[in-house]
Amino acid sequence: MNNCIKMAIFFLELSEFCSYTSFVNKKHKQRVDLNIFSNTFENLCQSTRLLQTREYTHHFGTSLLRHCVNVAYVSLYLADLLHLNVDRFQLTTGALLHDYYLYDCHDDNEANKKHHLRHHASIAAMAAKEEYSLTKKEEDIILKHMFPINLALPKFKESALVCVSDKICALYECVSNIYKFKIRCRIFARKLARAALPLPACNIN
């Protein structure tokens, strides 16, 4: 895929989660270094099928790619906010690939759906290793992001950051999308009510 298209998709994703992270930025002035973020994203787009994850739905309408982008951004943000000495490149790589399982978990015909919650981390790690040379830290980030559902403890600070960020983003995505859905339902109900109102009587004589 052309680099311009890849970067266009990146900034399309970025534009939404800049507003998405505004609720955190109200009290704090730390800003994530987007050079690390964009360079890692572009590198993974060239080496893996990361952009394919745009096709899969994750939390109530959020695409799998957007969720991974959100988690990577929040992980970097928390690292800066807490002044943690972490490897930001490996942190971003692991976060972007933490749900790299390349199937739609909501598809009733998908064989992995039944055991998705418990096993998707290991499936994502295997898929990522087939296409990209993961470090031990990056693999640990992917494998341990589902703690405590998977009982294996995160081994590195980067793994713990992604684990926490994943929960924050999942909660935000679910709540915000449900809220948006309720608003759409109310608007639709009002339009329906207006359409059902009796028309005023007209005197045509």
Show me where the domains of the chain are located: 3-196
The Cα–Cα gap between 31 and 29 comes to 6
Give pLDDT, residue 75.
92
Over the stretch 125-165, which tens digit does the pLDDT of each residue have? 999 999 999 999 999 999 999 998 888 899 999 999 999 99
Over the stretch 46-96, which tens digit does the pLDDT of each residue have? 899 998 888 887 766 788 888 898 899 889 988 988 889 999 999 999 999
The Cα–Cα gap between 104 and 83 comes to 36
- pTM of the predicted model, to two decimals? 0.73
The answer to whether the beta carbons of residues 112 and 101 sit under 8 Å apart is: yes
The answer to whether the beta carbons of residues 161 and 84 sit under 8 Å apart is: yes
In terms of DSSP H, where are the helices of 82-156?
88-96, 116-131, 136-144
The answer to whether the beta carbons of residues 154 and 144 sit under 8 Å apart is: yes
| Domain at 3-196: CATH architecture | Orthogonal Bundle (1.10)
Within 10 A of 5 (CB to CB), how many other CB atoms are there? Answer: 11
Give pLDDT, residue 187.
64
The Cα–Cα gap between 114 and 116 comes to 6
Give pLDDT, residue 134.
94
Give pLDDT, residue 97.
95
